[in-house]
Amino acid sequence: MPDSLFQPINLGAIEAPNRILMAPLTRGRADPGFVPNAMMAEYYRQRAGAGLIISEATGISREGLGWPSAPGIWTDAQVEGWKPVTEAVHAVGGRIVCQLWHMGRIVHPDFLDGELPVSSSATRAPGHAHTPSGTKDFVVARPLRLDELPRIVDDYGHAAENAKRAGFDGVQLHGANGYLIDQFLRDKANLRDDDYGGSPENRVRLMREVLERLIAVWGKGRVSIRLSPNGDTQGVDDSNPAAIFSEAARTIEALGLGFLELRQPGPNGTFGSTDVPQQDALIRGLFTGPLVLNSDYTAEQAAADIASGRCDAVSFGRPFISNPDLVERFRIGAELAPNVNAPRSWYFPGPEGYIDYPTLAQQTARETV
């Protein structure tokens, strides 16, 4: 394997020992109250060989979290639940940042005592929501009023402060995959005619204000963002993606973030395939910091893209599920373990398909007994 994957890199203020990052992966193992638990600490500890772990998407508020058993970071109990997780990662030399998540219109009223979810505009996501009482249709969201947007920014700021209390090494803003920030960025979901709608400059405004608040808490070198500039995601798309994501990249460059992660979906991506042009080359020309690409990479493809300068690191998602020692397997060219019972094991409660995957060394030891 070419050594480009294994060179250290400074991701802003975070010193990563290799360029194999663990992508954010929703796994649905939190306790009632969206509280992280000991099983989650073991899961992340097992994967701490990654150059950097980006945590699963983590709710910033009750309003913003609509996924059963996903973790949050807005209550003291949630903060206390995260502390053993970050301690476990740090104890074995790892690094972990918290991905901050507001789902916007993807939250079903069942999570909100019947209240409507919020979004940039009165739109409805396609498909169905998974709720504690079963699968239900999404509903038309309530547009956020101008006077509510400072509260949204405050919620992100509070979550960032809690992430620091919990022992994380930084935070990442989830600006991808059709969730709230993405609902403001792209014009298929953002139909506003005020200062947060219309032009690309207006549609990036909430993203910028949130990032400025995160920087005020963490410093710019420990703040990053994830974007998904390529095609429809959960019903969110744009009529001119080059324009909106160029403006987003210019904003992120001006703020000096630690790194930028882009979801580059392949034909088997979790959120569906895409046949639209990739935007990473355009963004690469506007953002001079570390660029991380994600989705459907092999080790060979990742090494080639880093060596060519297309990106500076690659984040791997699904391969980390069944290969807690993914970095070592890549290093020695070992075969990857399959993700048995996928996708059921991705989200099903309990340790099965979560913390019971052996490392290569454990597997070899079992086979020689």
Which one from 179, 196, 297, 357 is the annotated catalytic residue? 179
- Residue 132 burial by CB count (10 A; 0-12/13-18/19+): exposed, middle or buried? exposed
How close are the terminal C-alpha atoms of the chain, in Å? 30
Among residues 167, 157, 277, 269, the alpha carbon closest in space to that of 216 is found at: 157
Query: How does DSSP classify residue 49?
Result: T
The reply to whether 44 belongs to the active site is no
Instruction: For residues 355 and 39, give the distance between their C-alpha atoms in angstroms, rounded to a whole number.
Output: 7
Instruction: For residues 158 and 65, give the distance between their C-alpha atoms in angstroms, rounded to a whole number.
Output: 15
Q: What is the CA radius of gyration of the chain?
A: 19
The strand pairing partners of 142, in sequence order, are: 118
Copy the structure tokens of residue 297. 């990479």
Nearest-5° Cα angle at 354, 34 to 368: 155
Instruction: For residues 82 and 32, give the distance between their C-alpha atoms in angstroms, rounded to a whole number.
Output: 14
Query: How does DSSP classify residue 314?
Result: E
- The residue type of 253 is E
Instruction: For residues 365 and 367, give the distance between their C-alpha atoms in angstroms, rounded to a whole number.
Output: 5
Give CA separation, 116 vs 126, 183, 208, in Å. Answer: 16, 16, 25
Phi, psi of 53 (to 5 degrees): -95, 125
Query: How does DSSP classify residue 66?
Result: -
Instruction: For residues 311 and 38, give the distance between their C-alpha atoms in angstroms, rounded to a whole number.
Output: 35
Nearest-5° Cα angle at 263, 3 to 244: 125
Q: Which residues are catalytic?
A: 179
